[in-house]
Structure 1
């Protein structure tokens, strides 16, 4: 098995973010579908889903569906060595997986594969009443703002604005985006929707937004939220997080 992706930094930021939530996981490589990763955190609060279609790779030499169990923290350490111009080559055999940076030099790192299997997690069947799309830098700044105050993030969406808030004994943070401000790419809301979530997960995963073009947040009142990252070459990273119901 050998696959090559045009920008190693995309993988660097994605895996670094994922490794803060999940220690071990399985990359599934399929000759038709591409590369997939889906897993839940140990507390079953959040489910992560990463997908790179076959066509997103410069080279995709995969003969059969393969599961690659890895220690994500170890992979993240290697990928942090990615430089600006590096492409990423991933190869694997029965016992090991290798990550190589193709740039000014060829740098290859090999790790043992773990004897774990991919979780069989069904596709969530949810209908969301609020759909908000923003630029990735807007999303990332919002997370940084609410981190200053509390440990719970609250979404409130109406037909003309999207509000993100957090409060604690320290005080309150409130960020409001409107159609007029130009910060919203899209806003579709049925009635008013509001829900709260554990901020720590958003903080841990915010690094993934550094390589995303846009972020879409979907939720309904006191229901799970789905946060989708649009990545280069048609790839996607999303997470589904359970609400905090006070």
Structure 2
């Protein structure tokens, strides 16, 4: 059983109006700690993360963790039926296929309830690790929305640069360029009008203004916006929600074409093929074995049917090697290390290739 009662019903209306154009369908995750949402936009470029803690509700009951898939456009339509001062109550049964919205006027003279069917939405909950950012800018949310709107009339992208001098918003388009610089300003009468800049390392990143203007729709939620920048992380645009939670937008920076070309490494040169080493003409090492006896080249007669190379041996000691060199292909090689015993005739076997079949010839 899920039952949430929110006194500031207009807060939920503002949240839906902020994200309905960016996210079509999403799952609302309800647990004992709070009411949350995490979803990507239709183009899978921006990420939306919403958290409303249980302490911020007048009444909060969630018997077990529950995920409710809703169409945000339809949910926004139902919430428009509630007055700005109405109390909003959300009810859902475990395993049910619908959710109920109840709107109560402050003096309890009018109560309305609307029922909306739930959807089965396959979504993957992404873990967003906590990270330290190089630069953090806190500024009035209305000023941020005004800057994004003004720059979108000039160009399609905005370059946000944070230095010691301040934060600079710049763009360029077909009609010209525009630059807006905000310096740190804390000496103001209202804290919500202050501009605070925390910089560890200067940062300059480029973002699509179309998404920045979508994020700025959350301006009615908070008087201040926090923009966290780091060279290796997506930008985080965060709006605090009445001390009970937050609405965060994540957007990856754009990479300009010239940066891509400049950042590419030169193509590696093809390696030259190593030439095989030529074998030395000197006799190879025998590793302690008796040396081979080299034999003179045999003059072969092409007209002869049988090739009988002369074999020269020196039967001085057993284990001498016999080798035939200089013969043509197909004439065969005498097998090495033929033992010679006394004056016995040596009849080594000569292997001859005959169309793939081995033929053995006796040499007298």
TM-score (norm 1): 0.92
Match of 1:100 in 2: 102
Matches within 5 A, 1:175-186: 175-180=180-185, 184-186=194-196
From 147, 150, 164, give the equivalent of 1:145: 150
* Partner of residue 26, structure 1: 27
Tell me which residue corresponds to 1:245: 255
Q: How far apart, in 2, do the equivalents of 1:151 and 1:13 lie?
A: 26
**Cα deviation digits, residues 88-128 of structure 1 (max 9, x gap):** 21111211012222215222221101012442201145432
Does structure 2 retain, via aligned residues, the 8 Å contact 1:195–1:223? no
Shift of 1:71: 0.6
Say which of 107, 121, 125 aligns to 1:120.
125
Structure 2 CA distance for partners of 1:124 and 1:163, relative to 1, 3 Å: same
Task: Determine which structure has greater relative contact order: mean sequence separation of CA pairs < 8 Å that are 6+ residues apart, divided by chain length.
Answer: 1
Question: Shift of residue 223 of structure 1?
Answer: 4.2
Identify, as 1 or 2, the structure richer in helix.
1
Q: CA deviation at 1:201?
A: 1.4
Q: Note the aligned Cα RMSD (angstroms).
A: 1.9
- 1:136 aligns with 141
Q: Which moved more, 1:12-21 or 1:56-65?
A: 12-21
5+ residue gaps, structure 1, are none
Gaps of 5+ in 2: 257-364
Deviations 1:187-243 (A, max 9, x none): 111232110111111212322121113211011236410111111132100011011
Partner residue, 2:316: none
Give the match's secondary structure for 1:233: coil
What CA distance in whole angstroms lies between the structure 1 residues aligned with 2:53 and 2:8? 15
1:157 pairs with 2:162? yes
Contact 2:141 2:216 in 1 (8 A): no
Cα offsets for 1:13-40 (capped at 9, x unmatched): 2112211111100000102x11010111
- In structure 1, how many angstroms separate the alpha carbons of the residues matched to 2:161 and 2:127? 28
Larger mean CA deviation between 139-148 and 161-170 belongs to 139-148
Higher strand content, 1 or 2: 1
SS at match of 2:243: helix
The normalised TM-score by structure 2 is 0.63
Distance 2:244 2:170 in 1: 31
- Name the residue aligned to 2:172: 167
**1:36–1:50 CA contact under 8 A, matched in 2:** yes
Confirm or deny: 8 A CA contact 1:3 1:60 kept in the other structure.
yes
In 2: Cα distance, 1:209 partner to 1:85 partner:
19
